[in-house]
Structure 1
């Protein structure tokens, strides 16, 4: 039977089909192989997911007081890392409903979501759905860049599959909840709760949880502070999804969706206001760590107790107000509160607040504050009624200088009553140290940091005036002078080729005492004695002595005006120098940072200052890290301490003794030419402080505004708090100090039975050996005898 052949067309198509199948599978195999090798090579470029085991979140720098109150926070990113078991279950449900409802079932990639996103892109040409799971967002945020390319998306998918293989779902979710950006510089769910609602996570209500869960999709668009309407739409969508998924019931949904949102800008979480201290610490941390200081999550504990810092701020503000009130009212004319103006625009500077006058009577002023509260200011509290400014008719029934709708400055007094005030025109500074260690106890750099951030306590270059004289006296004692040495207080003319005219220095009161003991000269702050002392000891030795106290050479002029404090130094430098007189003769170095901890609470720094060795307490002090260098002898220290105590007991600073009632106070007033600077540098127990008042533009403070009048009250007010419950410290002579009964007029010995003498201290070997000549009897003038003789 003949073989039947297939028709040629049929054989052709069959053969073609086989070839097409072969080509298809060959192509498919080639594409698969290409994809495999492509993915294999791509996987080599992927970052190591092991990094996720050692994540260090970028958290801000936090500065604390010595008693652990937050005083400063620096860094762009607000973040509060939190463990997954600290996140309420309903908050997690809200995020899953909003971002990834199949998170606990998919392998890291939601293929349905990806297909939906791809279909959307193909049909509309727009990328409106990302198809990203929470795991993919973790991969992108921790391991990849922000570029929007298909290659990055592919890497994201591969990394997500790897992450799911290595980490649990809860570990992945914890990474996500701590990393995700939530708007308003907040990163992570815990920071968002604080930023928008001022609450911790477990305090949030359901509608607030839904609002926060809606943020990651587009934090700028759904920000409830910046865009309330869009934010509410997104919140309500999250609530509907939670209802559909069974996370909440209808009753819970109805209550939440009908709740108005109360997100708002939250007040700062600063616990204690000490901006000068916070800024000093910030600068030191940036010097140490660079810009990483803002993101490492460091917790920095300073040496400053909040109690003493508050006392310093109050003392400075009070002293400036006292000075300002002595020089009259500058508040005229007053600004008017405009129609439609918000009370919130009223300012607060230092302890002063603006208020709007609502009524004026013969007994008081009524005013409204920025929080809409009302206060009354009695005319009895207005400080200018005795200042020569009666022309403004303070207290008069027709007090036309203040009218309703005027904006005035007021402040609250210690008895909680209010007074009319003004922003002081002068400025001030106070720096306080532990004299034994150098630990900074308080820094007030001006009336208000936010009004002027210039830190006058650390940055200013002001003449110390008579406050520099103790360093000249120290050099003199080392050169053999004694507290009883007699120096002539008389006018002097100094020829200086560098000056156009001869220099004729004067005492402040332009009076001269003639031969004067050093103790009296320092007690009364006599200029001419200091100048003659400097002439006697020589400029090189005076400069060397001052530099032993921590002054730099550039701060010290090489002219005789150095004796009157014509160099420059900020209050912190003066406090450190005076600490030598307080601590037994050791140069301590001021320091601010006591301890630094990393984000996990591990100590990374502990201060170990070089400390003074306390002669009277060496047996009980066992924590000294290292000893500070001794810069003056025990004997010289004792004499200078005695002399500086005498300034408070009998000299230019007796107000301190009157107000504080202690016998261990010591220090020196300082006043410069034309009263441009007023100082008091002093100490008691282990606390040394320097107070300064002056104008930033070097304008004179005014007649009579000396250190004892303008600056000393600031020091006293601070020390009231600083010395509370601190026992007095006796001044015990060390070995090598002897006493002698002397005639204060000539510094020579007197018989102990003689009247008019004083007991004086001397370094052994320098006490006088000769006795004072008996006092010549005074000639009594007999007018009657004279008349008889002449006539």
Structure 2
């Protein structure tokens, strides 16, 4: 009996020892373990996403691509595939699978190395959310204890959801929805069984089983999972055979933007970082901009086609590279080094025929360029000259040339192109609130991230003159005032220099009405106006259009647009002309939402009276989503210019299109367009800013390092076509909407020679618009040589 008692108590002690040891370890480790309840409120690192106003994805920023989904959104076939791959007993164990741990221990004893951790999905959740990936026993014990706690506090569905949203699956994809988007460009719910099994195989080793880098190894892993699913009864024989016969088709789909607006995306990103710091990249913000996807596409097309047209007017600079002895295999490899830029694809010339050229592409099928689509390519000599016209394709290209092409109508038909050396910017604003409708800051963001729309400070030339003319109309001048277009000479006694400003054509027209001086863009008239108004007084007045005082030079050359301003600043100034005299500020972000689609913040721009009702409805809708504090009230924009002055100036700017330097824009066949060209000395910068009550658009063309665009290039030839190519489609179907004449204005018949009331029966008289206090007396009150003393004040005339 004594022996039996000894054996009994010895066996009992032996059996209790592991329990006591484990209990002691648990008691020792438990106080240091994190609270698993925090998993209910975990916020996974989610990237920043930028959208257009019509909800199209523009860009995504952040190291981790993640699209968290709920358990209900996970396909049942994927649940089964993942259980077959990772933990087929998941639904039945309580966080730890003893058989798996024993198997892992046996492997360790046999090999001396840790082969598998015996981890369940629950244990992996514990590791992924709370622990490191270090392979040590203390971490494994913590993992087991946490898994037991997690199972007591969370349901199996909650645990599974945490797991599939956290795991890394290669190529910056975190979570199964991100993996589906990265590898297949689809949602996880849209994938067939074979692709679901492929993704289920990635958690074990994302780099080893990467379907892009190692498709053969990935297929072996996928087929093993499908076999397991068949053995476990998750799928039938027919489904298994169909899935294993499916090839691996995964490829990198990147961020998969739905529209091209990289300059907009970068502007939004910078603003978000300014507001939220590095958290902007991880908190799952969705930023909805004011940009319209349709208008942005029109802007992209207008700028690129305009730059290519300018570039081709000056000749062909030759291929990007010449490789006369290259083979097709070598050419295919070489092409991989060239990216598509601004819609222009790289291609290798493989053969030159008498009437065409044959091409090889990176991915697309081979194509051809007909002689008609390349005979423009006269050799470029300088901005002002070209070589002789080519007579055949061999005069332009040779086999082995790396060139750029654009697609044309017809299967595999292309047009010879080249990357423009000149650059451009196009800004489109809503004049009633300053919202940015479209913006492009260069030919290709990939080639250059420099945003010329917001960063390039260039001289606006004559496109600045409307601000000066507005100051004149608000200080006693009328559209009929006569100013002498005659030579001026300025001598600087301190610098011993002489300034003789010239008109564009070098001629002088003598006394000329203000209206005609503007649409003819006479430089000498602008200088005389600024001289009469006073430089400081005029520049202070012009500040009301949104310009900083430091941006406006205090000297007479400012009349010719020598200040250095960005296209966005110029466009902002023109909104005041388009909206009747109100100052609005450009803004890009309409609203910001968090990862749960809850409203975080929204814009509150100052708007014109015409926009106030619509703006209040927008604010009301946003307040219902974020009811904090008092109901926001619409901010009314400040009126900075007399509406009568704006109406007069707009009438004069419409003449720029009807009969002036922008007469080409008459091709748009609209009566509500107004604007102004601008060209700087030596044709280094070309501008056109124009508008109607719906849109304001500013186009600029020039070289990043200022040099001449060519002696025949002006605002009306280089920038205006870009503006027209945008405004035409953008306003298609929109009825003409001219500004209403404000009270306090009247029209009078004017003699074009004198700018005064025309005598009865004058054949060349025309109607002019005047403020009531500035209107000339009727002809009956005129006396020889001037106005009757009882008449209106004579408009100031400079001779």
Superposition TM-score, scaled by structure 2 size: 0.88
**Aligned equivalents of 1:661, 1:582: Cα separation in 2:** 19
Q: CA 1:191–1:529 in structure 2 vs 1: closer, same or farther (change >3 Å)?
A: same
**Aligned equivalents of 2:454, 2:320: Cα separation in 1:** 36
Q: 1:626 aligns to what? A: 635
The question of 1:650 aligning with 2:659 is answered yes
Q: 2:407 aligns to what? A: 412
Give deviations 1:540-591, integer Å, cap 9, x for gaps: 2122122110111221111111111111111111111001001010111111
**Aligned equivalents of 1:369, 1:497: Cα separation in 2:** 65
**Aligned equivalents of 1:196, 1:212: Cα separation in 2:** 9
Alignment map for 1:313-352 (pairs within 5 Å): 313-331=300-318, 335-336=322-323, 338-339=326-327, 340-343=329-332, 344-345=335-336, 347-352=339-344
**Aligned equivalents of 1:622, 1:512: Cα separation in 2:** 53
Q: 2:188 aligns to what? A: 201
The secondary structure found in structure 1 opposite 2:212 is coil
Q: 1:757 aligns to what? A: 765
The secondary structure found in structure 2 opposite 1:548 is helix
**Aligned equivalents of 1:231, 1:685: Cα separation in 2:** 59
How far apart are 1:673 and its partner, in Å? Answer: 0.8
Q: 2:740 aligns to what? A: 732
Q: 1:423 aligns to what? A: 419
Give deviations 1:430-483, integer Å, cap 9, x for gaps: 101111111111111111111112111111111101111111111122221222
Q: CA 1:499–1:671 in structure 2 vs 1: closer, same or farther (change >3 Å)?
A: farther
Give deviations 1:154-201, integer Å, cap 9, x for gaps: 222222111111221122112111211111211122222232333433
Equivalent pair of 2:209/2:215 in contact (CA under 8 Å): yes
The question of 1:480 aligning with 2:470 is answered no
Q: 1:61 aligns to what? A: 48
How far apart are 1:628 and its partner, in Å? Answer: 1.0
The secondary structure found in structure 2 opposite 1:546 is helix
**Aligned equivalents of 1:268, 1:32: Cα separation in 2:** 52
Select the residue among 504, 512, 515 that pairs with 1:508: 504
Q: 2:63 aligns to what? A: 76
The question of 1:353 aligning with 2:349 is answered no
Q: 2:630 aligns to what? A: none
**Aligned equivalents of 1:523, 1:392: Cα separation in 2:** 37
Q: How many residues align?
A: 758
**Aligned equivalents of 2:132, 2:528: Cα separation in 1:** 74
Q: 1:461 aligns to what? A: 457
Select the residue among 678, 686, 690 that pairs with 2:686: 678
Q: CA 1:258–1:613 in structure 2 vs 1: closer, same or farther (change >3 Å)?
A: closer
Equivalent pair of 2:436/2:588 in contact (CA under 8 Å): yes
Q: CA 1:386–1:39 in structure 2 vs 1: closer, same or farther (change >3 Å)?
A: closer
The secondary structure found in structure 1 opposite 2:498 is coil
Q: CA 1:160–1:476 in structure 2 vs 1: closer, same or farther (change >3 Å)?
A: same
The question of 1:44 aligning with 2:53 is answered no
Q: CA 1:591–1:618 in structure 2 vs 1: closer, same or farther (change >3 Å)?
A: closer
Q: 1:542 aligns to what? A: 538
The secondary structure found in structure 1 opposite 2:706 is coil
**Aligned equivalents of 2:531, 2:157: Cα separation in 1:** 80
Q: CA 1:129–1:403 in structure 2 vs 1: closer, same or farther (change >3 Å)?
A: closer
The question of 1:99 aligning with 2:86 is answered yes
Select the residue among 591, 594, 600 that pairs with 1:595: 591
Q: 1:144 aligns to what? A: 131
**Aligned equivalents of 1:263, 1:235: Cα separation in 2:** 13
Q: 2:629 aligns to what? A: none
Equivalent pair of 2:123/2:144 in contact (CA under 8 Å): yes
Equivalent pair of 1:556/1:562 in contact (CA under 8 Å): yes
The answer to which of 185-194 and 525-534 deviates more is 185-194
**Aligned equivalents of 2:613, 2:240: Cα separation in 1:** 71
**Aligned equivalents of 1:643, 1:584: Cα separation in 2:** 14
How far apart are 1:296 and its partner, in Å? Answer: 2.2
CA RMSD of aligned residues (A): 3.2
How far apart are 1:148 and its partner, in Å? Answer: 4.0
Structure 2 gap segments, 5+ residues each = 619-633, 787-799
Q: CA 1:355–1:623 in structure 2 vs 1: closer, same or farther (change >3 Å)?
A: same
**Aligned equivalents of 1:86, 1:43: Cα separation in 2:** 35
Equivalent pair of 2:423/2:442 in contact (CA under 8 Å): yes
The secondary structure found in structure 2 opposite 1:102 is coil
Give deviations 1:128-172, integer Å, cap 9, x for gaps: 121211111111212334444433332222221111112211221
Q: 1:638 aligns to what? A: 647
Give deviations 1:329-381, integer Å, cap 9, x for gaps: 21168623722224353542213223333444444334343312323323366
Equivalent pair of 1:325/1:387 in contact (CA under 8 Å): no
Q: CA 1:226–1:415 in structure 2 vs 1: closer, same or farther (change >3 Å)?
A: closer
Q: CA 1:272–1:621 in structure 2 vs 1: closer, same or farther (change >3 Å)?
A: closer
The answer to which of 749-758 and 664-673 deviates more is 749-758
**Aligned equivalents of 2:153, 2:320: Cα separation in 1:** 73
**Aligned equivalents of 1:440, 1:517: Cα separation in 2:** 36
**Aligned equivalents of 2:285, 2:695: Cα separation in 1:** 29
Q: 1:375 aligns to what? A: 368
Give deviations 1:296-350, integer Å, cap 9, x for gaps: 2222222121221111111111211221122122116862372222435354221
Equivalent pair of 2:318/2:379 in contact (CA under 8 Å): no
Q: CA 1:498–1:255 in structure 2 vs 1: closer, same or farther (change >3 Å)?
A: farther
Select the residue among 143, 149, 155 that pairs with 1:156: 143
Q: Give the greater-gyration-radius structure (CA).
A: 1
Give deviations 1:621-673, integer Å, cap 9, x for gaps: 8658221111111122112112211211121111111x111121111110111
How far apart are 1:111 and its partner, in Å? Answer: 2.3
Give deviations 1:84-114, integer Å, cap 9, x for gaps: 2332333222211221121112111122322
Q: 1:578 aligns to what? A: 574
**Aligned equivalents of 2:330, 2:379: Cα separation in 1:** 35
Q: 1:3 aligns to what? A: none
**Aligned equivalents of 1:219, 1:125: Cα separation in 2:** 25
The answer to which of 114-123 and 684-693 deviates more is 114-123
The question of 1:712 aligning with 2:725 is answered no
Alignment map for 1:101-140 (pairs within 5 Å): 101-140=88-127
**Aligned equivalents of 1:427, 1:719: Cα separation in 2:** 20
Q: 1:666 aligns to what? A: 674
Q: CA 1:738–1:731 in structure 2 vs 1: closer, same or farther (change >3 Å)?
A: same
**Aligned equivalents of 1:667, 1:268: Cα separation in 2:** 39
Q: 2:631 aligns to what? A: none
Give deviations 1:30-57, integer Å, cap 9, x for gaps: x988875763453333222222222333
Q: 2:795 aligns to what? A: none
Q: 1:781 aligns to what? A: none
Q: 2:396 aligns to what? A: 401
Superposition TM-score, scaled by structure 1 size: 0.89
The answer to which of 239-248 and 469-478 deviates more is 239-248
Equivalent pair of 1:741/1:752 in contact (CA under 8 Å): no
The secondary structure found in structure 2 opposite 1:495 is strand
Equivalent pair of 1:360/1:399 in contact (CA under 8 Å): yes
How far apart are 1:62 and its partner, in Å? Answer: 1.9
Q: 1:787 aligns to what? A: none
**Aligned equivalents of 2:9, 2:613: Cα separation in 1:** 99
How far apart are 1:424 and its partner, in Å? Answer: 1.4
**Aligned equivalents of 1:315, 1:284: Cα separation in 2:** 27
Structure 1 gap segments, 5+ residues each = 1-12, 777-791
How far apart are 1:283 and its partner, in Å? Answer: 1.8
